[in-house]
Each structure stands twice: as structure tokens, then as C-alpha cells.
């Protein structure tokens, strides 16, 4: 039996889906399950059952918790209505994404939320990288990721929501410097990376819609490969190679040896990307953006540590991420040695 809070949530979901035309009178929400994972959003899985209970659909609720803590130095999160628009754009471009069924505003009974179809697959990186039943998927996944990113980056800029962050290269480096300075510039490795980027020519890859968090952990994978791309809250306008290099960052390999998410090669990733687009990145460009991702991860660690220490969000997840600062520093030094020996 659902708790009183879950009962209210089920009623709000039923009303939203009926209003959106995605449920009929008499359809009911059942088997609400609060899923683990996700520092910034609630995710629930549930069934929508027909009045005769003969047919049910498995759906996903993504909801912004009331009073969610962020940080004044971080870009404001995208609204879930904008995420829904991006999912629709990506789906039409051929990127595997859930289908959005309904969106609610922050002032509604449900709060700011979206409801979408539930795709089959596994997102847990440790399972994907080691389980024998994903062996075939691992051989295909880097190419498929490149292919999906190529399709995403091919979306016309004219179709993009105006809410998306769109910073010039210099403005973005200023943002990273300001964030480092805010935390007392405690990491010489971080400052070394920022200084190195200042000395480089501005990136030349096209400006496109970037997912912003395209990585192992946000990819839903089945035995045959990529099934879905999840968690679009960091989407922005950026450089095409940024998404590719981010996927290769060591932090998202979860102990796997291959550079692309711990499961694939640079060559397969680039082959998939180039199969659907005119722009052809180089491996050096990917390494450039791996360094950028390592710097960004370090600043995320500092931000999470501050949220925990200040008491704004004393949860264990913030503290655990904050303790991983040294990972980014080691990666930065190794990457700089490779890029600028």
C-alpha cells in the first residue's frame, strides 16, 4: 500500500497525465518506486494502469525537489520544460531518448516535473563495464555514442530554446577562474590548467547544442548497445568536440581501461561521429576537452564540498563527491604532460 505522501503523488500524476491527453478517465497510477541516484532531481518509476487493469505502461517521473540546494556560483539549472523541448528535438534528430508525455510547472500540485516513457536498459557503469551479458554492447557502444552525438550536434541552432547557456570561450574561462577564486584558488593544478587554456588558440570546432553530461552513467544500455541518453539538465550551446572529450574523461571510465567511457576506443567514437556529420575532430581535440572536463570535475568537487560544509546540503553524496578533488588534479597533470610535454 502506498504511503499518504505517495498517494497524493499518484493522484497528482493521474491528473497531469489526463490533462496532457496521455491518460484516460479511470486510468490509475500504481507501483510508485523512488529510484536511487541523481544529486539534483527526484526520479520515480511507476505504472499507469488502464481502467480494466489489463494494460499497463511503465513510466518515469523526473521532478525537481522543493528547496533543492544549488550554489550561487553555478549556472542556474535548466527548467524541466526546456529539458522536455530538448528531448523532443533530440528524438526527432534520431538520438535515442524517452518520449515526453507531460510537463508540469513549479506552481502545480506536482511541482516542476516531467513524465516520460521508461526505456529498457542498464545505466549502472560497473555492471555495463564488467557483466558478460553486455559484452556485445561494449563493442558497439563507442561508435553508437559518436553517432548519437553527431545527430545531436546536427540540430539547427534556430530550433534551440533561448534559455540555453551560450558563453564565448573567453567568457567561459573567466567563469572557471571566478569559480576557482571563489574557493580561494586552493589547487595549483587547477590554476595551471586555466593558465594553459589561456595560452591556447580558441577551439575551432562548430558551436552546437551540447548535452553537457554525456557520459557513462547517463547512458541507458541494452545487450545490443545504446538504448537511451538521459539527464539533460546541463545542456548548453558549446563546442562540438566538448561533448566528445567529456565522454572520454577518466572520471567517467569507472575503472575501465578503454578511454571512451571505460568501454571503447577514440577511433570507434570518432568513426561513429563522422558517419553522420561533416566535422571531423582529431584525437588531440578530444584530449584537449578531456583536460577541460578534468578541470570542471575538480571545480564540481569543490562546490559539493562547500555545499556540505556550509550546511546548505549536508547529505552524504555532496561530501563523498567533495573528497574526490585530488582525482581531478592527478588527471590534469597527466593530461598536461601529454598535451604539452
Strands 56-63 and 219-222, by their bridges, are unpaired
pLDDT in tens, 275-319: 998 899 999 999 999 999 999 999 999 999 988 888 877 888 888
The confidence score (pLDDT) of residue 311 equals 81
Q: Which residues are paired to 33 by β-bridges?
A: 45
Inform me whether the pLDDT recorded for 323 exceeds 80. yes
The confidence score (pLDDT) of residue 51 equals 82
**Lowest-confidence pick of 186-190, 192-196, 219-223, 309-313:** 309-313
C-alpha to C-alpha distance for 112 and 217, rounded to whole angstroms: 24
The confidence score (pLDDT) of residue 341 equals 65
DSSP classification of residue 183: T
Tell the burial category of 24 from Cβ atoms under 10 Å away from its Cβ (0-12, 13-18, 19+). Answer: exposed
**Lowest-confidence pick of 75-79, 234-238, 281-285:** 75-79
Q: How open is the CA angle 143-276-210, to the nearest 5 degrees?
A: 80
Does the pTM exceed 0.75? Answer: yes
Inform me whether the pLDDT recorded for 269 exceeds 90. yes
The confidence score (pLDDT) of residue 196 equals 98
Could you list the beta-strand ranges (E) of the chain: 28-34, 42-49, 56-63, 100-104, 113-117, 207-210, 219-222, 225-229, 236-239
- Average per-residue pLDDT for the chain: 92
Alpha-carbon separation of residue 217 from 21, 112, 315 (angstroms): 32, 24, 21
The confidence score (pLDDT) of residue 3 equals 52
The confidence score (pLDDT) of residue 39 equals 59
The confidence score (pLDDT) of residue 1 equals 42
CB proximity list for 332: less than 8 A, separation 6 or greater: 189, 190, 192, 193, 291, 294, 295, 298
The confidence score (pLDDT) of residue 4 equals 44
Tell the burial category of 177 from Cβ atoms under 10 Å away from its Cβ (0-12, 13-18, 19+). Answer: middle
Average the pLDDT over 240-265 and give the result: 97
pLDDT in tens, 1-56: 455 468 899 999 999 999 999 999 999 999 999 986 555 788 999 999 998 776 78
pLDDT in tens, 85-113: 999 999 999 999 999 999 999 889 899 99
C-alpha to C-alpha distance for 189 and 187, rounded to whole angstroms: 5
DSSP classification of residue 1: -
Amino acid at each position: 500500500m502506498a504511503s499518504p505522501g505517495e498517494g497524493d503523488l499518484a493522484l497528482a500524476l493521474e491528473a497531469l497525465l489526463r490533462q496532457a491527453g496521455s491518460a484516460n478517465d479511470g486510468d490509475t497510477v500504481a507501483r510508485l518506486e523512488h529510484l536511487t541516484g541523481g544529486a539534483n532531481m527526484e526520479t520515480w518509476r511507476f505504472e499507469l494502469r488502464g481502467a480494466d487493469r489489463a494494460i499497463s505502461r511503465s513510466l518515469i517521473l523526473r521532478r525537481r525537489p522543493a528547496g533543492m540546494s544549488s550554489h550561487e556560483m553555478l549556472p542556474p539549472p535548466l527548467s524541466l520544460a526546456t529539458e522536455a523541448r530538448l528531448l523532443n528535438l533530440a528524438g526527432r534528430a534520431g538520438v535515442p531518448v524517452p518520449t515526453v508525455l507531460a510537463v508540469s510547472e513549479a506552481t502545480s500540485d506536482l511541482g516542476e516535473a516531467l513524465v516520460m516513457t521508461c526505456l529498457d536498459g542498464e545505466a549502472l557503469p560497473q555492471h555495463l563495464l564488467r557483466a558478460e551479458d553486455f559484452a556485445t554492447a561494449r563493442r558497439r557502444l563507442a561508435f553508437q555514442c559518436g553517432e548519437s552525438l553527431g545527430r545531436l550536434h546536427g540540430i539547427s541552432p534556430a530550433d534551440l530554446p533561448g534559455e540555453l547557456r551560450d558563453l564565448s570561450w573567453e567568457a567561459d574561462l573567466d567563469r572557471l577562474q571566478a569559480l576557482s577564486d571563489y574557493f580561494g584558488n586552493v589547487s595549483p593544478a587547477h590554476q595551471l590548467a586555466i593558465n594553459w587554456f589561456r595560452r591556447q588558440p580558441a577551439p575551432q570546432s562548430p558551436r552546437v547544442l551540447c548535452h553537457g553530461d554525456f557520459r557513462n552513467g547517463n547512458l541507458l544500455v541494452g545487450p545490443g548497445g545504446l538504448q537511451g541518453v538521459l539527464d539533460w539538465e546541463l545542456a548548453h550551446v558549446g563546442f562540438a568536440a566538448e561533448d566528445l572529450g567529456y565522454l572520454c574523461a577518466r572520471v567517467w571510465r569507472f575503472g575501465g581501461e578503454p578511454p571512451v567511457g571505460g568501454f571503447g576506443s577514440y577511433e570507434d567514437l570518432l568513426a561513429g561521429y563522422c558517419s553522420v556529420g561533416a566535422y571531423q575532430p582529431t584525437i588531440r581535440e578530444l584530449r584537449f576537452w578531456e583536460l577541460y572536463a578534468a578541470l570542471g570535475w575538480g571545480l564540481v568537487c569543490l562546490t559539493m564540498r562547500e555545499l556540505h560544509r556550509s550546511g546548505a546540503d549536508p547529505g552524504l553524496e555532496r561530501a563523498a563527491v567533495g573528497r574526490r578533488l585530488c582525482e581531478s588534479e592527478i588527471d590534469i597533470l597527466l593530461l598536461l604532460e601529454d598535451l604539452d610535454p
